[in-house]
Amino acid sequence: GSNSVMSISPNNLALSFAYLYRRQECQFALLTNQQSQIFQELRDELAVMHNETRSIQSTLNNLTTELEAIRRDATTKAELQNQKLTDASSRIERLDAIAEESRQALPHELAAIRNEFHDSLYSVEYQVTTKIRDLSDNITSINNKVSMIEKPHDQSNALGAHGTELDRVRRKVLHYLTDLCVSFFALVTMLLQVLIRCLNLGAVLTENRKLAVCFSMTVLASCLLVYTSDPIILWLRGNETITDNSDTINRRISHWANIL
């Protein structure tokens, strides 16, 4: 065996070692290339995973932002709804308080309207009665003066005196007629005030403009019917006179006093 070993030439041995070394280098290079490819694939996969992770993180951030915005919107809407409910409750309470005040003030308002209407009507009725009575006296005086003027007189100074007296009576009658017109306009003004009060009262009672107008017109028509009932009846009977007018007004005053 030693002879066979010794028979190997150094050149062959060197070539064998060189071949073995080159083979090992080729294997190492191949392994290095495979390892580089594997590392590159791993780096690529890690980069893809990193990009996917960043995309997922961005999506999570967007979802978190949207959820926070939705939560804020829901909170804001809930607060607005609560504020609206609070405002509605406050308005309902105020309306209830106003309605309660109106219901409590309604009897006082009705009493004030009744007293004002009674006082105004009594004042106007008294003025009209007084003016009609004075007018009746003046008409009687005029008739007496005219009768005296129509009688034959011999003295011209007596005629002049009667003429002066007649002018004075005429001026007095004109004055009383003017007062009577003023009293009539005062009555009309009072009726308008009563109509306005009735409109306000109807609006408070019915809370409807049409019903308030119907209520006010009904009240006004009733007042006018009560006020003008006696003159219309007497006119239809044909028995209306100045004295009857005074009696009629006195009856109306008593009637209104009983009603009010």
Neighbours of 248 (CB within 10 A): 19
Dihedral pair phi/psi, residue 125, rounded to 5° = -60, -40
Q: Nearest CA to 129 among 260, 49, 248, 255?
A: 248
CA distances from 79 to 32, 72, 86, 173 (A): 68, 10, 10, 79
Residue 104 clears pLDDT 50, i.e. is over it = yes
Which segments of the chain does DSSP mark as H helices, in order?
2-6, 10-150, 156-206, 209-237, 242-259
Percent pLDDT > 90 in the chain is: 21
Least confident range from 15-24, 78-87, 179-188, 202-211: namely 202-211
Q: Are 135 and 242 in contact (CB under 8 A)?
A: yes
246 touches 129 (CB < 8 A): yes
Q: How many CB atoms lie within 10 A of CB 26?
A: 10
What average pLDDT score do residues 167-180 get? 74
> Tens digit of pLDDT for each residue in 44-93?
999 999 999 999 999 999 999 999 999 999 999 999 999 999 999 999 99
CA 70 from chain centre, in angstroms, equals: 37
Spatial separation of the C-alpha atoms in residues 104 and 82, rounded to whole Å: 32
pLDDT above 70 covers a percentage of the chain that reads 65
Lowest mean pLDDT among 28-42, 52-66, 135-149: 135-149
Length of the chain: 260
Tens digit of pLDDT for each residue in 205-228? 556 666 666 766 776 677 667 666
Lowest mean pLDDT among 62-71, 100-109, 166-175, 211-220: 211-220
What pLDDT is attached to residue 257?
46
Q: What is the value of pTM for the model shown? A: 0.33
Reduce the secondary structure of 198-252 to three states and give it as a string.
Answer: HHHHHHHHHCCHHHHHHHHHHHHHHHHHHHHHHHHHHHHHCCCCHHHHHHHHHHH
